[in-house]
Amino acid sequence: MASDANGIPELDQDKYDADEQVKIICLGDSAVGKSKLMERFLIDGYRPQQLSTYALTLYKYNTTIDRKAVLVDFWDTAGQERFQSMHPSYYHKAHACIMVFDVQRKITYKNLTNWYTELREYRPEIPCVVVANKIDGETSQTGLFLIFYSLPILFFTRLSLLFAADMKVTQRNFNFAKKQGLPLYFVSAADGTNVVKMFKETIKMAMSYKQNSSDFMDEVMRELENFELEQNKDLSLQTAQEGLKPESPESV
């Protein structure tokens, strides 16, 4: 994996045969399920663990948008979120952000303000989505209650409450996203609810931002990328033409 001038790892776009490349970062407190959401989306798998991520993980995902091959570079935290801050390099060249909180832990919701403030310090313009994870949690707790404590006469009443639990979670009033004008998704990494939808829409936002950004530095980066792409095309054409030249006759 190559690195840029700042020592930040970059994917080889040519290696993955992509027309475009975007970077999407994840923010949020420890153990809110950031890594599990990525695992659910990328490999449709889920391992119920409470361990935080201890090393930066780069997830690669190939997709097609508007007939263009797009390489998505998902960045997962290196456990730095435990210190309520990320290294500036984490935000470098990001085109979108997924900000996650745990609906069962109020403090993770309150801390969204800090994460959003830091995000805007380094990336003032990129699109950001807010993700309420673990909406399945109340259902699981209610289910255990039914199994061990419900009386037969109350069974159907409790059962109706069981199926209504998720709806209750999604109807809670989370004002942060609305106040900031950000999309809000209610998801579950455990059962996959809304995970694919959230990721695919975020990828589209990242692509749209990269192509239409009015941020000066992003415009400079776009011009540099286009210049490098044209240089690579010219070099490939020159190499191909040289390969077609007839060999000079051997001297007798």
Cα Rg of the chain, angstroms: 23
- Residue 235, domain member (yes or no): no
Burial of 18 (0-12, 13-18, 19+ CB in 10 A): buried
pTM metric for this prediction = 0.69
Residue 38's domain is classified under what CATH number?
3.40.50.300
- Residue 222, domain member (yes or no): no
- Residue 224, domain member (yes or no): no
4-61 per-position pLDDT tens digit: 544 444 545 445 678 999 999 999 998 999 989 999 998 865 555 444 454 577 889 9
And the tokens for 136? 């399945």
State the CB neighbour count (10 A cutoff) for residue 193: 19
Q: Give the mean pLDDT of the chain.
A: 75
- Residue 217, domain member (yes or no): no
The neighbouring-strand residues paired with 23 are: 73
| Closest among 175, 172, 53, 183 to 113, alpha carbons compared | 175
85-117 per-position pLDDT tens digit: 788 888 999 999 999 999 999 999 999 999 999
Q: Which residues are within 8 A (CB) of 2 and not within 5 positions of it... i.e. 6 or more apart?
A: 9, 10, 11, 12
Domain range enclosing 55: 2-212
CA dihedral sign of residues 116, 120, 122, 126: positive
Express as a percent the part of the chain with pLDDT over 70: 57
Burial of 198 (0-12, 13-18, 19+ CB in 10 A): buried
- Residue 164, domain member (yes or no): yes
In the chain, the N- to C-terminal Cα span, in Å, equals: 49
- Residue 206, domain member (yes or no): yes
The total number of structural domains in the chain stands at 1
- Residue 85, domain member (yes or no): yes
147: left (phi over 0), alpha (psi -120 to 50) or beta: alpha
H or E element that contains 20: strand 20-27
Check if the beta carbon of residue 129 is closer than 8 Å to that of residue 202: yes
pLDDT of residue 81: 61
Mean pLDDT, residues 135-161 taken together: 45
- Residue 54, domain member (yes or no): yes
